[in-house]
Amino acid sequence: MRGMLRLVAGALLLTGFTTCAALADAAAVGMSAVPGAARAETTEPTAVDDVVIGAYIQNIQSIGLATNSFQADVYVWMRWKNPALKPYESLEIMNPYETWALTSTPITAEPIPQPDGSQYYAIRYQGGFNTPLDLTEFPFGEQVLTIQVEDQVSEAKHQRFVLDKDSIANGPQITVPGYDIGTATIDVVDATYATNFGDLNTPGNDVYSRVTISIPVAHPFLSTAVKILLPILLVVVTASLIFHVPPGLVEARIGLGITALLTLVAMQWSTLSGLADLGYLVMLDVLYIVAYFFVVATLIQSLVTSWKARAGDEAGAIRIDERSMYVDLAAYLIITGAVMWYYLH
């Protein structure tokens, strides 16, 4: 009887152990099949791929001050080591002007292997580029023409641009009529966008590696001064001859002053017609305003002395005219010099 009880107890123990083991296995399998179940995983940070980049400014055809744009011919090259990358397919010009007129021509049909194990690819861009121009100091002052390129697919945390050893150079044949061309520079920055462009996989703002090519240009000072400022000075000096016309000839005096005013207006319109409709005054605007005030002042003074001469004191009127001419010219030159110093410094 005792042997039978021991046999039954052993059988129950074995059955219970087997059932518990089966339930534990089933629970483990079920937990692994549940979506979102916690699993201990070690995620290593993604490596950033470096793309070495450089540029060569072949030519600049024209600069449009009215459109804030310029036409250029530029070569851009890249080198990278990750064979899975194709940065040349996603390279994007960020500041095109008239996109339909901007052409990109591959210099190499396929990436070319390099001795260091990297891949090489070059593209030639020809067309218009939009660039903000600060014309406050016009007709003087330096302008900076910019070309910006960026990878339109990979963010900076995955792919970044690195400047080549000799990353930028100017072509020796670059000539733009009316401008002196400075030495081009190139730099790389992280451009942060104030949006994730609706991508739910990006929790924050998108950051892309951006390359900016900068080309400084400026009008030659001496030739520009002779072409633009000398005509204004000649009109002012001509207007000052009002004081050498006898006070009794009022019609001749007024005619000379009105002619000087009309000449200044026509000169200002023709000189500034090539600029955009700016919301601020450039230096040349202020210089014309100073010239307008000079001519108007001479007209008022000549009328006063003409009335004085008509009242019988012609000798006194002539003395006032002579003194007024020198005082007005000196004031004009001082104010003009102060305006130019203020804007150019």
CATH code of the domain in which 297 resides: 1.20.58.390
Q: pLDDT tens digits for 24-56?
A: 454 444 444 434 433 333 344 468 899 999 999
Q: Are residues 67 and 213 in the same domain?
A: yes
Are 231 and 200 part of one and the same domain?
Answer: no
For residue 222, the number of C-alpha atoms closer than 13 Å in the C-beta half-sphere is 0
Domain at 195, CATH number = 2.70.170.10
Q: Evaluate whether residue 284 is within a structural domain.
A: yes
The reply to whether 259 and 276 lie within a common domain is yes
Q: Are residues 323 and 213 in the same domain?
A: no
CB atoms within 10 A of CB 216: 15
Residue 322, in any domain of the structure:
yes
pLDDT at 2: 43
Q: Has residue 37 been placed in a domain?
A: no
Residues in the chain: 345
In a shared domain, residues 65 and 159: yes
Res 28: pLDDT: 43
Burial 8-18 (b: 16+ CB within 10 A, else e): eeeeeeeeeee
Strands, E assignment, 242-342: none
pLDDT for position 188: 95
Name residues whose C-beta falls within 8 Å of residue 260's C-beta, 6 or more positions apart in sequence. 235, 236, 238, 239, 295
Q: What's the pTM? A: 0.77
Residue 17 forms beta bridges with which residues? none
The reply to whether 187 and 202 lie within a common domain is yes
Flag whether 207 is in a domain. yes
169 and 124 assigned to the same domain: yes
* Structural domain harbouring 231: 222-344
pLDDT at site 46: 60
121-130: pLDDT as tens digits = 999 999 999 9
* Dihedral angle over CA of 263, 264, 270, 275, nearest 10: -170
CA distances from 96 to 64, 130, 149, 171, 292 (A): 14, 6, 10, 21, 40
Residues 6+ apart with CB under 8 A from 170: 57, 181, 183, 184, 215
Residue 321, classed as helix, strand or coil, is helix
pLDDT at 180 over 60: yes
| Predicted local confidence at residue 24, as pLDDT | 45
Residue 98 has pLDDT above 70, yes or no: yes
* Count of domains for the chain: 2
**Domain edge (last residue) among 218, 248, 279:** 218
Q: What is the mean pLDDT of residues 251-261?
A: 89
Dihedral-angle region of residue 22 (phi above 0 means left; psi in -120 to 50 means alpha; beta otherwise): alpha
Question: What pLDDT is stored for residue 244 in this prediction?
Answer: 84
| Residues 283-296 pLDDT 10s | 999 999 999 999 99
Based on the fold, state whether residues 191 and 60 are members of the same structural domain. Answer: yes
CA dist 43 and 45 (Å) reads 7
Say what the pLDDT of residue 293 is: 96
Residues 199 and 289 in one domain: no
For residues 60 and 215, the answer to whether their CB atoms sit within 8 Å is: yes
Based on the fold, state whether residues 242 and 335 are members of the same structural domain. yes
143 found inside a domain: yes
Q: Which of 52-61, 90-99, 250-259 has the lowest mean pLDDT?
A: 250-259
Say whether both 96 and 244 belong to one domain. Answer: no
Q: Is residue 119 part of a domain?
A: yes
